[in-house]
Structure 1
Amino acid sequence: MRSFAPPLKDWSRSFSLHGLWVNLALEDLRDRYRRTVLGLTWIVFSFALFVGVKMFVFGPLNAASVSEFGVYVTLGFGLWTYINAMVTDACTAYMHSRAWILGTSTPYPVYLLQAIARNWMIFGMILLVMAASLYWNPKPITMNALWALPALAMYLVSSVWVSAILAPLCARWRDLYQTVQTGLRLVFFATPILWMPRNFDRLATIAELNPISHFIAIVRDPLMYGRVPVDSWTLVLVTNAVGLLAGAVVYASTRRRLPHWI
Structure 2
Amino acid sequence: MVQKSRQMDISEKHIAAWDFTTGILRWRLWAYLGVQDIRQRYRRSSLGPLWLTLGLGVTILGIGLLYSQILKTPPGTFIPFIAISLLAWNFLSTVVTESTTAFQAGAGLISSVRVPYTTFVLRCLVRNLIVAAHCILPVVIAFVYYKYPVDVVALAALPGLVLMLLNMYWLALCLAMVCLRYRDVAQIVIYAMQLALFVTPIIWQPTQLRAGTPFLAFNPIYHLIELIRAPIFEHRVPLASYQFSAIMLVVGGAITALVFNRFRRDLAYWI
Task: Give TM class, smaller chain.
Answer: over 0.9
Q: Which residue number in structure 2 is paired with residue 215 of structure 1?
A: 224
Cα distance in 1 for partners of 2:150, 2:64 equals: 22
Out of 108, 114, 119, the residue aligned to residue 105 of structure 1 is: 114
Cα distance in 1 for partners of 2:242, 2:26 equals: 32
Q: Which residue number in structure 1 is paired with residue 267 of structure 2?
A: 258
Out of 52, 75, 79, the residue aligned to residue 66 of structure 1 is: 75
Cα distance in 1 for partners of 2:251, 2:135 equals: 29
Determine whether 1:21 maps to 2:50.
Answer: no
Query: Counterpart of 1:257 in 2: which secondary structure?
Result: helix
- Asked whether the 8 Å contact 2:82–2:202 carries over to 1, the reply is yes
Q: How does 1:127-142 map to 2 (within 5 A)?
A: 127-136=136-145, 140-142=149-151
Q: Letter of the aligned partner of 1:169 in structure 2?
A: V
Q: Letter of the aligned partner of 2:62 in structure 1?
A: V
Q: Which residue number in structure 2 is paired with residue 121 of structure 1?
A: 130
Q: Letter of the aligned partner of 1:222 in structure 2?
A: P
Determine whether 1:42 maps to 2:51.
Answer: yes
Q: Letter of the aligned partner of 1:111 in structure 2?
A: F
Out of 17, 20, 29, the residue aligned to residue 11 of structure 1 is: 20
Structure 1 or 2, whichever has the larger Rg, is 2
Over aligned residue pairs, what C-alpha RMSD do you find? 1.9
Give me the identity figure in percent: 27
Task: Tell me the CA shift for residue 4 of structure 1.
Answer: 4.0
Q: Letter of the aligned partner of 1:60 in structure 2?
A: Q
- Asked whether the 8 Å contact 1:197–1:203 carries over to 2, the reply is no
Task: Tell me the CA shift for residue 204 of structure 1.
Answer: 5.8
Q: Deviations over 1:57-81 (max 9, x none)?
A: 2111223311110001001111000
- Asked whether the 8 Å contact 2:80–2:148 carries over to 1, the reply is no
Task: Tell me the CA shift for residue 47 of structure 1.
Answer: 1.0
Q: Which residue number in structure 2 is paired with residue 187 of structure 1?
A: 196
Out of 73, 78, 81, the residue aligned to residue 87 of structure 2 is: 78
- Asked whether the 8 Å contact 2:65–2:79 carries over to 1, the reply is no
Cα distance in 1 for partners of 2:256, 2:120 equals: 15
Q: Which residue number in structure 2 is paired with residue 239 of structure 1?
A: 248
Q: Which residue number in structure 1 is paired with residue 6 of structure 2?
A: none
Give 5+ residue unaligned stretches, structure 1. none
Q: Letter of the aligned partner of 1:104 in structure 2?
A: V
Q: Letter of the aligned partner of 2:260 in structure 1?
A: Y
Cα distance in 1 for partners of 2:217, 2:73 equals: 20
Out of 48, 51, 60, the residue aligned to residue 60 of structure 2 is: 51
Cα distance in 1 for partners of 2:214, 2:64 equals: 23
Q: Letter of the aligned partner of 1:68 in structure 2?
A: T
Which TM-score applies when normalising by structure 1? Answer: 0.93
Q: Which residue number in structure 1 is paired with residue 239 of structure 2?
A: 230
Q: Deviations over 1:14-57 (max 9, x none)?
A: 22221111111111111100111111111101111111111132
Give 5+ residue unaligned stretches, structure 2. 1-8
Query: Counterpart of 2:216 in 1: which secondary structure?
Result: helix
Query: How many residues in Structure 1 have an aligned counterpart in Structure 2?
Result: 262
Out of 104, 107, 129, the residue aligned to residue 95 of structure 1 is: 104
- Asked whether the 8 Å contact 1:198–1:204 carries over to 2, the reply is no
Task: Tell me the CA shift for residue 200 of structure 1.
Answer: 3.4
Distance 1:203 1:171, change over 3 A: farther
Task: Tell me the CA shift for residue 137 of structure 1.
Answer: 5.6
- Asked whether the 8 Å contact 1:4–1:252 carries over to 2, the reply is yes
Query: Counterpart of 2:101 in 1: which secondary structure?
Result: helix
Cα distance in 2 for partners of 1:236, 1:117 equals: 20
- Asked whether the 8 Å contact 1:92–1:170 carries over to 2, the reply is yes
Q: Letter of the aligned partner of 1:154 in structure 2?
A: L
- Asked whether the 8 Å contact 2:37–2:127 carries over to 1, the reply is yes
